[in-house]
Amino acid sequence: MAHCSPKRSPCLFPAHFAGAPKRFIAPRQGGAASLSRTFPDHRVGENGDLWVFGYGSLMWRPGFVFVERHVGTLHGWRRRLCVYSHVHRGTPDRPGLVLGLDRGGSCRGVVFRVAAGARAQTIAYLRERELVTLVYREIMAGVRLDDGRRVTALVYVCDPRHPQFAGRLEHDALLRFIRQGHGISGANRDYVRNTYAHLVELGIADATLARLSADLE
């Protein structure tokens, strides 16, 4: 299978390789109700307010109502372009790449506090958005806010066993997938540049996205 394990050396695709694995895990049937049975609410925090950690598009397009928004740091996971996109930023034959959280390091992102009354609705929305093909897993993890508080937040991390998981790719491979990727949400290169621009606005450094954004100009 042409994808990398996070513990293996970086993937080096042969020159003729233009795509990614075409074996899919079908979207879970039954929508939010089915997902709620698989991931019951006790998995996502105690009764009361909900904290949600965003590291990609959730940072600027959360899609849910929140009462607080802070920059925070998640340890043990790093932001990485490590998920093959077959729909939004690519196709099965010409996949793009979108962000995921891979093991190791740390990640600075945006942490949202959702009021208790909107908690169940927000969880259902996020599961519909993030768990369509189950390339992401839902976990609870500690996050340190920049104001010094420590909270437990809902986080979506990559499943390294999933065929859409790309692992750690070299710079040239990243560029190749990003340049070719185009899906129903637009060009992959726009996704990368937009993400980097928002990180700059938040004062969050990301050397990989900075280099890619420069090379995509």
pLDDT at residue 47 in the model = 55
- Domain range enclosing 100: 31-212
CA atoms of 81 and 192, how far apart (whole Å): 9
Q: What is the CATH number of the domain that holds 171?
A: 3.10.490.10
pLDDT at residue 43 in the model = 45
Mean pLDDT of the chain: 83
Q: Residue 9 to residues 4, 5, 12, 18: CA-CA distances in angstroms? A: 8, 8, 9, 20
| Residue ranges in the chain modelled with pLDDT below 70 | 1-47
In a domain, 191, yes or no: yes
In a domain, 145, yes or no: yes
In a domain, 21, yes or no: no
Active-site annotation, residues: 130
In a domain, 7, yes or no: no
In a domain, 13, yes or no: no
In a domain, 170, yes or no: yes
**CB neighbours of 190 closer than 8 A, spacing ≥ 6?**
none
Query: Per the structure, how many domains does the chain have?
Result: 1
pTM: 0.79
In a domain, 3, yes or no: no
Closest CA to 98 of 23, 18, 20: 20
pLDDT at residue 85 in the model = 96
